[in-house]
Amino acid sequence: MSEQTDPVKRKPATSYDVARAAGVAQSTVSRCFSADSLISAETRQRVLSAAAELGYTPNTLARSLITQRSNTVALVITGYTMRDSPNVMYTLADALARQSMRVMLITAENDEDLRPAVLDLLGFPLDGLITCASMHADDSRQFLRRGVAMVSYNRKIEVPKVDAVLADHDGASRQIAEHLVRAGHKHLLCVAGPEEAPVSRERIDGFTAAVREAGLEVPHVLHTDFSYDDCKARFLAYVGKAKRLPQGIFCANDELAFAIMDACRYDLQLRVPEDVSIVGFDDVAVAERPSYLLSTVRPPAEVMANKAVELLLRRIREPDVRARTLRFDCELVERASARFGKP
Amino acid sequence: MSEQTDPVKRKPATSYDVARAAGVAQSTVSRCFSADSLISAETRQRVLSAAAELGYTPNTLARSLITQRSNTVALVITGYTMRDSPNVMYTLADALARQSMRVMLITAENDEDLRPAVLDLLGFPLDGLITCASMHADDSRQFLRRGVAMVSYNRKIEVPKVDAVLADHDGASRQIAEHLVRAGHKHLLCVAGPEEAPVSRERIDGFTAAVREAGLEVPHVLHTDFSYDDCKARFLAYVGKAKRLPQGIFCANDELAFAIMDACRYDLQLRVPEDVSIVGFDDVAVAERPSYLLSTVRPPAEVMANKAVELLLRRIREPDVRARTLRFDCELVERASARFGKP
DNA sequence: CTGAAAGCGCTTACAG
DNA sequence: CTGAAAGCGCTTACAG
């Protein structure tokens, strides 16, 4: 039986192996792989070619242990948010990668399921963490205590030293309400996610507050699990036993609005917007297609994601500056699915 | 000026700190945090409460360095795939998390941009890597050489010891072709992604091969950048100067099919499927909505993702078993957008 | 410019 | 059951 080493099982080469091959000290090898070290061109050349020969790359884990920088940022996100706005996630990950940060992805179906995975991360010396989900204040403090910089994306957070990037859902929802009221809609309906979904809640609250302030009857809120099917079913059930059809429907996001629009058109044979105005939120790609032409609200998601990364990097550099909350205006996108009243 | 330590800047407690607080050796502390160590209940109790007091969690980096297991798997995925099938990514990440694996996310807009980020990862002692993008064979070998288990998701890969999980795009596309031919469609068109997109190519190749074998004229292939707008524009331009309209259109994915359907209905005033049959691929959620009712193909994406993780774990345990390629049948989903001929 | 040495925070034989 | 010691693979003062 030969002693040939199988390349698959061979352990990666270390700086000692390279040092031996190049006839230098291990510390010299190390210097060749850090940016600003004084190394003679000739030595560097020899070391680098020995390294290439052995397929050597410095072990970043060992490096992190000693530099106390892991160059790793955790991205915490629920399955729902990921499926619903994959682009937010892509933009965050991409912006991080461009800053030479590694991205650790923490995901689970909802905030509660996320928690064990998040806590498990306490043992990993992260440089930073961006959360697109609501975290327990206690958990956040644990991370802060370990020196992890934190930024919250689209979730309010009341923990000191945690920055936040928020879309002004409240303001946009109020504008929608005002437009619908001004156009003469009297009977309004809201279609929301689950009771506890924070973004949905914010949007619906803003809308109903503005309707109340306009002196109209406060709209009924239909809660759903955010899915198309559930939304459609609940809406049809609601309409079935309601005294009258709503004239305007505000949905906490575009997917809900599509379900409502389909239900109105294909199940109830209503014309949109002649019989009913429908408004969504997010401006996903499908919204502008001719089959929907959904009036909606566009939060500046990419800008916000890039800003979140910027805030995070700043906080990594200066951990003790006061927490900043950046609030971004959303753009109203008026299409054919709703009658809006101009001021 | 007081010497009060700011909790935010305090370095995380180490096992030595806990040992001192509990009056035991550092190695004893370590034992309390590994599963199957012999520790007296009393000692463990004392150590654990000291640890809780200090907010101590073992540093997984240091642990990995010594155990040679990082419990980390890299997920390599392009922006396109991520936006197009966020659910694949979620399923992969979730399955990994359930196996107590950490997930490192590597993303970039396309295969080429992905490369630097992937190579950067060579320095991180991964346990495994799942790629949803095409990797250079050389790069794959570098990982294998470092003992990283690899699985390719929906990309053929010819490197030994790399497992693959594939949908049978070829077979499904051939079936679509046969159905369209049998229903009497003579003039067919294919709408593809970019020339080099591997999944798109596989689907289109299967379709055109079957059409050729059926003795019909080989369909023209319209290449697009996968975006709705580009697809629509190129299609309308093509139709504008074509001698006749195609009777059946096969699209490499559902998004392209939606663009084609909208163009047919709203720009060309054609009826679907009376004037033209349209078929997509993927069965995204929008496909079954009443505004589209798209006939399409459903690859068992969740099953495949779970299987990919299963293969990966198996290969982590047994690095040297022969490479396996699992090919999954897709389901034809017949809706209203195409006339299919029954055999 | 280069080397010898200490140390990052752990795990794990090895004794006792 | 517990402790002392070696070592995982690096970086970085400290000398020279």
Thinking of the domain B169-299, which architecture would CATH place it in? 3-Layer(aba) Sandwich (3.40)
pLDDT value for A2: 35
Say how many Å lie between the first and final Cα of chain B, rounded. 88
CB-closest option in B55, B70, B105 to A61: B70
A259, A231 Cβ separation under 8 angstroms: yes
Q: Which two tokens stand for residue B228?
A: 């709705």
Could you tell me the fold of the domain covering B70-167+301-329? Rossmann fold (3.40.50)
Greatest alpha-carbon pair distance for chain A in Å reads 90
Q: Chain A 211-270, CB below 8 Å of chain B: which residues?
A: 228, 258, 262, 265-266
A295, A331 Cβ separation under 8 angstroms: no
Residue B131 and residue B149: Cα distance in Å, rounded? 11
Contact yes or no for A12 and B58 at CB 8 A: no
Asked if B16 has any chain A CB less than 8 Å from its own CB, the reply is: no
B47, B32 Cβ separation under 8 angstroms: yes
Q: How many CA atoms lie within 13 A of A324 on its CB side?
A: 16
Mean of pLDDT over chain B: 92
CA–C1' A200–D7 (A): 53
Residue B116 and residue B127: Cα distance in Å, rounded? 20
Is residue B7 over pLDDT 60?
no
Residue A96 and residue A265: Cα distance in Å, rounded? 43
Q: Which residues pair with B150 in a beta bridge?
A: B129, B162
Contact yes or no for B125 and A97 at CB 8 A: no
Residue A151 and residue A131: Cα distance in Å, rounded? 6
Residue B302 and residue A225: Cα distance in Å, rounded? 21
Q: Which nucleotide is nearest to B13 (CA to C1')?
A: C9
CA–C1' B87–C6 (A): 49
Residue B150 and residue B161: Cα distance in Å, rounded? 8
B143, B159 Cβ separation under 8 angstroms: no
Q: Give the pLDDT band (50/70/90) at residue B42.
A: confident
Residue A288 and residue A296: Cα distance in Å, rounded? 9
Q: Domain A71-167+301-329 is classified in which CATH homologous superfamily?
A: Response regulator (3.40.50.2300)
pLDDT value for A10: 61
Distance (Å) from the C-alpha of residue A189 to the closest C-alpha of chain B?
Answer: 23
Asked if A303 has any chain B CB less than 8 Å from its own CB, the reply is: no
Is residue B70 over pLDDT 90?
yes
Task: Spell A299-316 as b/e; 16+ CB within 10 A means b.
Answer: bebeebbbbbbbbbbebb
Contact yes or no for B94 and A103 at CB 8 A: no
pLDDT value for B35: 77
List of chain A residues whose C-beta atoms are within 8 Å of the C-beta of residue B320: 6, 8-9
CA–C1' A47–C2 (A): 13
* Tally of residues, chain B: 343
Give mean pLDDT, residues B274-281. Answer: 97
Distances (CA, A) of A26 to A20, A155, B321: 8, 48, 36
pLDDT in tens, chain A (343 residues): 333 334 444 678 899 999 999 999 998 999 988 877 678 888 888 889 889 989 899 999 999 999 999 999 999 999 989 988 899 999 999 999 999 999 999 999 989 999 999 999 999 999 999 999 999 999 999 999 999 999 999 999 989 999 999 999 999 999 999 999 999 999 999 999 999 889 999 999 999 999 999 999 999 999 999 999 999 999 999 999 988 999 999 999 999 999 999 999 999 999 999 999 999 999 999 999 999 999 999 999 999 999 999 999 999 999 889 999 999 999 999 999 999 887 6
Residues of chain A within CATH 3.40.50.2300 domain(s) are 71-167+301-329, 169-299
Q: How many other β-carbons are positioned within 10 Å of the β-carbon of residue A171?
A: 15
Give mean pLDDT, residues B105-130. Answer: 94
Residue B303 and residue B167: Cα distance in Å, rounded? 11
Residue B226 and residue B199: Cα distance in Å, rounded? 12
Residue B5 and residue A341: Cα distance in Å, rounded? 58
Could you tell me the fold of the domain covering A15-58? 434 Repressor (Amino-terminal Domain) (1.10.260)
Distance (Å) from the C-alpha of residue A183 to the closest C-alpha of chain B?
Answer: 27
CA–C1' B33–C6 (A): 27
B336 CB and strand C closer than 7 A: no
Residue A83 and residue A68: Cα distance in Å, rounded? 34
Place of tokens 């390719």: B152
Distance (Å) from the C-alpha of residue B274 to the closest C-alpha of chain A?
Answer: 18
Residues of chain B within CATH 3.40.50.2300 domain(s) are 70-167+301-329, 169-299
More confident residue, B37 or B114: B114
pLDDT value for B343: 67
Residues of chain A within CATH 1.10.260.40 domain(s) are 15-58
Q: Give the pLDDT band (50/70/90) at residue B38.
A: confident
Which of the residues B163, B291, B293 would you substitute to probe the A interface, choosing the one with the greatest number of A C-beta atoms within 10 Å? B291
Give chain B as a 3 state SS string.
CCCCCCCCCCCCCCHHHHHHHHCCCHHHHHHHCCCCCCCCHHHHHHHHHHHHHHCCCCCHHHHHHHHCCCCEEEEEEEHHHHHHCHHHHHHHHHHHHHCCCEEEEEEECCHHHHHHHHHHHHHCCCCEEEECCCCCHHHHHHHHHCCCEEEEECCCCCCCCEEEEEECHHHHHHHHHHHHHHCCCCCEEEEECCCCCHHHHHHHHHHHHHHHHCCCCCCEEEECCCCHHHHHHHHHHHHHHCCCCCCEEEECCHHHHHHHHHHHHHHCCCCCCCCCEEECCCCCHHHHCCCCCCEEEECCHHHHHHHHHHHHHHHHHCCCCCCCEEEECCEEECCCCCCCCCC
pLDDT value for B341: 83
